[in-house]
Amino acid sequence: MAEPNPYEAPSADLVDDPTGGDDGHLADRGARLLASIIDTFLLLAINLPLMWFSGYLETTMRSATTGVEQPIATTLTWAAIGFAIFVVVQGVPLAQSGQTIGKKLLRIRIAHLDGSKPTLATLLAKRYLPVNVLNLVPFVGGLLGLANVLLIFRADRRCGHDLVAGTHVVKAD
């Protein structure tokens, strides 16, 4: 009997879904994208008028043309206001069904890997807040945000925020 080659590459069976389950229950990437776009436009429809009437947009445009940065306290305040508005608008549907308004329209939902519905606290603390905080980091925040969403091209279709929260997006029943 021949000795095994210790330098030979190991072999393994490849599966489409690393979780071992049927990926037919996963939401498709297009539905997730469209749900995110719907949610973004909904929040923009609320946030932009507030930013306009408060003068924040004007000072932001002025700082962009003059090169003078906004005070960090102003940026953090508006980030907190934006997150609070997100919680007010999306909190109830997320708590009830694990769906944002966009996800509800497209019949997809957020679930733990075992299929159970995550709590609102879990979704906010692990799925949404870290992404919003990372996006505030100058220069690298945008790159981290891009890397987060590009992870959807993994076989299990989980973005970075899904990995952190232990969730995935599935078709709603």
Q: Is residue 3 part of a domain?
A: no
| Calpha distance 81→70 (Å, rounded) | 16
Residue 99 domain flag: yes
The answer to whether residue 114 is domain-embedded is: yes
Q: Are 100 and 35 in contact (CB under 8 A)?
A: yes
Kindly report the CA angle at 34 between 22 and 120, in degrees rounded to 5? 70
In a domain, 46, yes or no: yes
How many independent structural domains does the chain possess?
Answer: 1
Residue 63 forms part of a structural domain: yes
Please name the residues in contact with 35: beta carbons below 8 A apart, sequence gap of 6 or more. 100, 102, 103, 105, 106, 108
- Structural domain contains residue 56: yes
User: Taking Cα atoms as reference points, which of 156, 96, 84 lies closest to residue 124?
Assistant: 84
Residue 147, domain member (yes or no): yes
Please name which of 96, 82, 106, 83 lies closest in space to residue 31, comparing C-alpha atoms.
106
State which residues form the domain around 164.
26-171
The answer to whether position 11 is within a domain reads no
Digitized pLDDT (tens) for each residue of the chain, 173 residues in all? 678 888 888 777 655 544 444 566 999 999 999 999 999 999 999 999 999 999 988 888 888 788 777 888 988 899 999 999 999 999 999 999 999 999 999 999 999 999 999 999 999 999 999 988 998 888 898 899 999 999 999 999 999 999 999 999 999 97
Sign of CA dihedral 17, 18, 22, 27: negative
